[in-house]
Each structure stands twice: as structure tokens, then as C-alpha cells.
Amino acid sequence: QVQLVESGGGLVQAGDSLQLSCAVFGGTFSSLTTVGWFRQPPGKDREFVGAIRWRDGGASYGDFVKGRFTISRDGAKNTAYLQMNSLTPADTAVYSCASVKSMSGALPTSSLEYRRWGQGTQVTVSP
């Protein structure tokens, strides 16, 4: 069974950086795959962080990112990454990755369009 597994979360201080990983087990990310990152702050709805198109690395980001986050991928490791810089307490959330296959290469921003999800990893940013 194919599974997505996130790692890299933890407790950091404001201004710090953190890199999250999303690895696939029991399968691979094909050239048709888009990997998305979402987050859910405490007591709030899930929101789109960004997404990357596996075949060419094209990416898009949520408005709140403002250049602080970067999504990348390593095809050899079948792993996507979310590099987060200049973290603030407002970035505290459970971060999840998700994947979907698309012929169009679209970068969906809605969680409803993704088919496979990881379990999430907690990121806590202290003041």
C-alpha cells in the first residue's frame, strides 16, 4: 500500500528555519504527480501552503507564504521538501503533504483535489 510519510516537524523559535520532508513508501512519485503541502493551525481550517509538479518542479504557493517557504523535490529519493524560513508563531500548525496524479500538470490549491495524504507533522513556533 502506498503511503506518504511526513517528517521534520518540531518546536522552534520565531525566526528559525525548518525543513519538512514528504516521502512515499510502497510506490513512487510519477511524472504525473503533484505533491501539495497543507497546514491546519489550532482551531482553524486547513489551508494551502504550496504544491509542486513532479515532472518539472514547477511550484505555486499560498498567499501567506510571501517568499518565506520553498517546495522542492528529489526524484531519486521520492521525497518532496518544504523549506520554511523566518517562521513566526502564526506558522504553528499540523503540516501535511498530499498527492494527486494529473495529466494536465495542474497545481491544485483545494485539499479536495488530492487523493493520498500523509499523517501530518506538528510544527510549533514559540515567540
C-alpha cell at 21: 520532508
Q: Are strands 10-13 and 121-126 parallel, antiparallel or unpaired?
A: parallel
| Cβ 82 vs Cβ 49: under 8 Å | yes
Overall average pLDDT of the 10-15 stretch: 98
Percentages (nearest 5) of helix, strand, coil residues in the chain: 5, 50, 45
Per residue in 82-110, pLDDT tens?
999 999 999 999 999 999 998 888 899 99
Per residue in 68-80, pLDDT tens?
999 999 999 999 9
Per residue in 49-64, pLDDT tens?
999 999 999 999 999 9
CA atoms within 13 Å, Cβ hemisphere of 98: 23
Q: Is residue 112's pLDDT more than 90?
A: yes
